[in-house]
Amino acid sequence: MKILKSVLLLFALLVLISSTQGCGNAECVLTGFVNCGNDGGADKSIINGTVVDVIGGPGVSGIKVIAERNGERVASDTTNSEGEFKLKVREGDITLLFEILDVVTVGRAFTITEDSEVFLDVTLDVLAQPERITVVDWAVSQDPIRCDSNQSFIIDEDDLVDFTVDGKGKDCIRAQGDCFIDITVQNIMLNVCNEGILAEGSANVNLEALAVTTLTIDAESNGIHTKGDSSVTLIGGNIFVTSTASDGIRAENSSDVEIQRSGLCTIEGFDDAIQQDGTATVDSDGCTQVMGN
C-alpha cells in the first residue's frame, strides 16, 4: 500500500470535478484525474470560479482569468461584478493565471478530466511579491470509477482533497482483471452506490483517508465485494461501511479485505456485516459489526 503552499499569494480554492470517462486503452494510467484513451476533440470541460476577495486590489470585477496549455492560451474570461468567471477547456493539464492591475500571477497547474466541471473560490493578494498561487482546499466529486486489466487509477493528494464518488445507483468503484486503484486523500466518501467497491480477478484497490474524519461507503448492495484473488484495503481515521440491502463486506474465493482504522469503525449489513466464502479473509480488527435485519 502506497503511503501516501508559497504563502506569498493567498489562493482559497474549492474544486468540484465530475468525470464520466474511464480509461479505455491498455497500459494507461489515470493520475490526478487525467483520462487516457479518449478522443480529445471539442472543449468538454468547464471551470467555474469566483474571485471572492482581492487583498490590496480594486475589487473582484474586471480581472482577466487565463488558461494556458504548454505556454499557449486556450481559454480566457473576465470576472463580472460578482467576481465570477467561466472557462471551457479540453481535458488534460492546464495552467491558470489571473491578470489584475497589469500584473499576472505565477501560474498554477491543474489537471482536468473530459466532461468534468470544476468550481473554484479564489482569494488574490496583489501586494505579495512575487505573485503566486497556493491551493488551500479542494473537494472532488467524481462519477463511478471503472478500471480494467492493465489500467490504473491513482490519486495522491496528501493534504488537500476531499474525494467523493457519486455512484448514481451504480457500483461506485468497479475494478477488474489486474487493475490497480490507489486513492490517497484527506477524506473519502462513496455515496449512492449499488455496490460500494466491487473488485474481481486480481484487482487491487487501496483507499487511504489521511484526515481524522471519515472514510465512508454507503451502498444498497454489498458495501465491499471481493472475488477471485482480488484485494481491498481501507486505511483511515473513522471508517464506516454500510449496506442497506445486502452484506457490509462480502469476500469470496481467495480474495482479502483489510481495514486499518485509527478511530471508530462500523461495518453494517442488512444481511450480514461480514460474509466470507471459500478461503477469503476479512481483517476488520476493532470494527463494530451491525446486522440490520
Tens digit of each residue's pLDDT (9 = 90 or more) over 253-263: 999 999 999 99
Strand order in the sheet with 28-31: 28-31, 151-156, 180-185, 204-209, 231-236, 256-261, 281-283
Instruction: Determine how many CB atoms are found less than 10 A away from the CB of residue 41.
Output: 9
For CA atoms 235, 240, 242, 248, the dihedral sign is positive
**What rounded mean pLDDT belongs to the chain?**
79
The pLDDT value recorded for residue 112 is 66
Q: How far, in Å, CA of 168 to CA of 165, rounded? A: 9
Q: What percent of the chain has pLDDT over 90?
A: 46
The pLDDT value recorded for residue 51 is 84
Residue 32 pLDDT greater than 50, yes or no: no
- State pLDDT tens for residues 61-111: 999 999 999 999 999 999 999 999 999 988 778 888 888 878 787 777 776
Q: How many CA atoms lie within 13 A of 113 on its CB side?
A: 29
CATH of domain 44-138: 2.60.40.10
C-alpha cell at 214: 471519515
| Alpha-carbon dihedral 166, 171, 175, 176, rounded to 10 degrees | -150
Judge contact between 230 and 236, C-beta under 8 A.
Answer: no
**Of 169 and 134, more confident:** 169
On whether the pTM is more than 0.95, the answer is no
Q: How far is CA 218 from the centre of its chain?
A: 16
Say if residue 58 is preceded by a cis peptide, omega within 30 of 0.
no
Instruction: Determine how many CB atoms are found less than 10 A away from the CB of residue 183.
Output: 23
